[in-house]
Chain A
Amino acid sequence: MRILVQSEPFDVGAETARFGKGHQNVGALVTFTGIVRNNDAGTMTAMQIEHYPGMTEKALTAIATEAQTRWELQDVLVIHRHGDLVPGEMIMMVATAARHRKAAFEAADFLMDYLKSRAPFWKREITSEGAEWVAAKDDDEEALKRW
């Protein structure tokens, strides 16, 4: 398991290559990459991501551990950035490695649902009109019930 919380950009290709290397029993590797999306009006100049140092790492580790309990995974990777980002930048990625694709896909989906509303990150959109905290969506909370 590899959990990284960082302000620096990450190289999704290099991370994926590193993650996929050296496994003998892995038949499926799923990656998901989250990108900062501009608002509908296209006025966002930056997205600030605040987090809770200490709790963030613990929460991500707990979520990844839970995924490993529910699915037979050979490995899990979670990278999540904080600080100031601009639209188009990669904000986070997860990767799962399993014998078969079903477990890898499901575990990645599970990780994403939990990262959305159980990892202590808060997004704030900066636009020409000012700054606004992104509100949590009811859908995101609802999504957890699937699991």
Chain B
Amino acid sequence: MQVLYFAWVRERIGLPKETVETTAVTVMDLVEELRQREERYALAFSDLSALRVALDQELSDFEASLEGVREVAFFPPMTGG
């Protein structure tokens, strides 16, 4: 699946998107997998209360299932308007 990062999440991880091969069942499982990878991921995902997640471009939550999901995006709370 495609994993996208925006704003300071993108800066901490150091790339805007990547293809991730995963068997993660939920968003939280995916977060755990990413955290294990490298320090920069662990740092980006250290405080989940400061993060939001979208599944296939719809706002979701960390408990959500990844079944059938093609695009996951992680970003800080939005600041539009």
Q: Which residues of A contact B (CB under 8 A)?
A: 34, 50, 52, 54-55, 58-59, 80, 91-92, 112, 115-124, 133-136, 141
Number of interface residues of B (CB under 8 A): 16
Report the bound CA distance from A43 to B79 in whole Å.
20
How many A-B contacts are there with CB distance less than 8 Å? 70
Interface residues of B in 40-81 (CB under 8 A from A): 54, 57-59, 73, 75-81
Please give the distance in Å from B79's CB to the nearest CB on chain A: 5
Q: Which residues of B contact A (CB under 8 A)?
A: 4, 6-8, 54, 57-59, 73, 75-81
Looking at chain A's contact residues, the main secondary structure is: mixed
Report the bound CA distance from A134 to B8 in whole Å.
10
A123 proximity list for chain B (CB < 8 A): 79
B76 proximity list for chain A (CB < 8 A): 122, 133, 135-136
Does A92 lie within 8 Å of B54, measured CB to CB? no
Does B81 lie within 8 Å of A112, measured CB to CB? yes
Does A115 lie within 8 Å of B80, measured CB to CB? yes
B78 proximity list for chain A (CB < 8 A): 116-122, 136
